[in-house]
Amino acid sequence: DAAIGFSRDTERFFALRGVPWHWMPGGVTAEGGCPEADRPASGPLTFAYFGALAEHAGILPLIEAFLASGVPGHLHICGHGQLGPIITTIAARSENLHFHGLLATPDDCVAWARKFDVLVNPRPATWGNENNFPSKVFQYALAGRAILTTRLSGVEHVLGPGAVVIEPDPLVDNLKQAILATAQTDRIELRRRGEEIRQRVLGNYSWRRQARRVARFLERVAGGQAH
């Protein structure tokens, strides 16, 4: 009778079938957050990723693109998954790549992410990713840092114009070019963008606001007004 989708890309499927549809990618706890962490005030930018260490997350293309870019900064990774041993091996051979293992809680991830300048969501347009939403994006936003992400599932609508958004294909080439361009961006501007994203997500995607939206959608469906 109705559908609630994580991905914005699912709307067309249900529209063609005349099924009322609502987009609900996730949300944040508005009162959440972590204290400010120290970051370098000068020197090369630092990039970071946390999340699944699996092919569906795009972590290996990110590593390939970062190392190929030759930027003087560093890429820091934490997470857990089947690609962990491979990433450990690559990091042991590279001065610019650092693998930190697994963090215990989502709050730990946000606190860790605040140590860096740019957070990267390299999710590819494969593995059914067009039908779900990367929950790490909300944690990235809470960190208040600049975000580089692929355009997938409506991520760009959540983060807004402050994010650096690339097409997911060709993934490695687009990541590399975006890393090169971002590495030339003033650190003050990146911090401004990160805070803009944080305020946008806190203001528009709190769980309380999301719950109200879902409730209104269900009320319209029940009343036959969802189309």
Model pLDDT for residues 90-113, shown as the tens digit of each residue: 999 999 999 999 998 888 999 999
- Residue count (the chain): 227
Q: What is the pTM of this model?
A: 0.94
Residue 39's pLDDT is what?
Answer: 62
Q: Which CATH topology does 44-222 take?
A: Rossmann fold (3.40.50)
In this predicted structure, what is the pLDDT of residue 192? 96
Give the pLDDT band of residue 41 (cuts 50, 70, 90).
low
Domain coordinates of the chain in residue numbers?
A: 44-222
DSSP characters over 81-134? STTHHHHHHHHHH-SSEEE----SSHHHHHHHHTTSSEEEE---S-TTGGGS--
- pLDDT band per the 50, 70, 90 thresholds, residue 37: low
Nearest one of 164, 87, 86 to 122, comparing CA atoms = 164
Q: Which helix (H) or strand (E) holds 78?
A: strand 74-80
pLDDT, one tens digit per residue, over 121-172 is: 999 999 899 999 999 999 999 999 999 999 999 999 999 999 999 999 999 9
Instruction: Specify the pLDDT at position 43.
Output: 87
